[in-house]
Amino acid sequence: MSELRCFHVDAGKGLHRLAGLEEALVSVQAGGYVWLDLFEPTRQDLDAVARPLGIHPLAVEDCLDEDQVPKIEDYPGHTFVLFNRYSYADRTLIVDEIDLLLGKSFLISVSGHRGGGRRNLEKAEEMAGREIGNVEKGPDFLLHVILDHIVDGKMPAIEAIEEDIEAAEEGMLQDPAAFKLETLVELRRSLLSLRKSLFHEREILVKICRKDSPFISELAIYHFRDIYDHLTKFFETCEMNRDILTSLMEMFLSLINNRMADVANRTNMSVRRLTLITTVFMPLTLLAGVGGMSEWSMMTGPPNWRIAYPLFLLAMVVIGGANYYLLRRIERQDENRRMDRA
């Protein structure tokens, strides 16, 4: 549901809430400036505000378009600024757009036009009240208060992403087999969105600090430099986390390769052991076949069966014992190799 909040700011009189747009337009004539805060506005709501204040139609269109990158554009009579605010939950980054239109006697803030019921400037009025001494100096100082509020609100989302990266690292090291690569891919996607937004927002502050906007006074520029420092810090943090994620992906692939190599080595050892068993049992099979078909008694002579068959059984026992000894020796050697690698 659309909502319009109107405020009048005048030197020495503070910030006052107005009843509606008509009262705000009248109060501008008496001095000071007005702040018009629109939440979830329709095209008709924006047109009703834009026409009397001379807002350019392209700026109104930008306020309604979605998936735009942060930017600053100068129009005759006002400057348009687009900033982003973040919220992060369940490894999902939600990017909200906040549009600001700055003129000599007004500041218009537009938010929530994507829906979802998220109020992005719910505490901006409170912050403006705490810094009323600066806010009374002009709408450019109020713009600084709002941008400072937006930028400070980015920190919880960045910290939450860092915590998820640390949790992903611990989970991957504890149990690589159960770890899902999709976790790192989702975090990487969030960081890319952060980096894209922070890069363009930092460029906005560069343009403001070099006095590109005629509606931002030189006295207010010093305050915007502090916002630039915060954005630079967040951008560097984002870049550092991207490097960490890249390292984690490489580590995960290395752990999986090592695990597959270990499985392959175990398979090779099992095949070798089975081959050895088959090789050892070949003479036993021959002997069993010879003894089972009575060739042994024919070769040794039927009268000598009392000596021939005990010798046959003794040969079977010796070969079986030798087989058991060889298998145990191979197992001990394999265990020693695994302990040396560990």
Q: How confident is the model at residue 42 (pLDDT cuts 50, 70, 90)?
A: confident
Lowest mean pLDDT among 54-58, 158-162, 253-257, 283-287: 283-287
Helices and strands in the chain, H and E counts: 11, 7
pLDDT of residue 297: 60
Q: How confident is the model at residue 239 (pLDDT cuts 50, 70, 90)?
A: very high
Tell me the pTM. 0.74
| Radius of gyration of the chain, Cα coordinates, nearest whole angstrom | 39
Do β-strands 106-111 and 33-39 pair in parallel, antiparallel, or remain unpaired? parallel
Could you report the per-residue pLDDT of 104-114, keeping only the tens digit for each? 999 999 988 66
Could you report the per-residue pLDDT of 175-215, keeping only the tens digit for each? 887 888 888 888 989 999 999 999 999 999 999 999 888 89
Could you report the per-residue pLDDT of 44-90, keeping only the tens digit for each? 989 999 999 999 999 999 988 877 899 999 999 999 999 998 888 77
Q: How far apart are CA 305 and CA 296, in angstroms?
A: 9
pLDDT of residue 234: 93
Could you report the per-residue pLDDT of 161-175, keeping only the tens digit for each? 999 999 988 888 888
Domain 3-255 classification at class level: alpha beta
Written in H, E and C, the secondary structure of 39-62 is ECCCHHHHHHHHHHHCCCHHHHHH
pLDDT of residue 264: 78
Give the residue among 152, 92, 145 at the shortest CA–CA distance from 116.
92
Is residue 118 within 8 Å of 96, Cβ to Cβ?
yes
**Mean pLDDT on 8-29:** 85
> Which residues face 75 on adjacent strands?
78
Is the model's pLDDT at 116 over the cut of 70? no
Q: Is 93 helix (H, G, I), strand (E, B) or coil?
A: strand
Asked whether the CA dihedral 112, 224, 205, 187 is positive or negative, the reply is negative
Q: How many CB atoms lie within 10 A of CB 253?
A: 11
> Which residues face 85 on adjacent strands?
96
Top-confidence residue, 201 or 302: 201
Q: How far apart are CA 71 and CA 213, in angstroms?
A: 13
CA distances from 57 to 49, 78, 81, 194, 211 (A): 12, 12, 15, 29, 24
What are the two backbone dihedrals, phi and then psi, of residue 339, each rounded to the nearest 5 degrees?
A: -70, -35
Q: How confident is the model at residue 143 (pLDDT cuts 50, 70, 90)?
A: very high
Q: How confident is the model at residue 34 (pLDDT cuts 50, 70, 90)?
A: very high
> Which residues face 73 on adjacent strands?
80
Is residue 167 within 8 Å of 40, Cβ to Cβ?
no
Top-confidence residue, 32 or 115: 32
**Mean pLDDT on 270-280:** 73
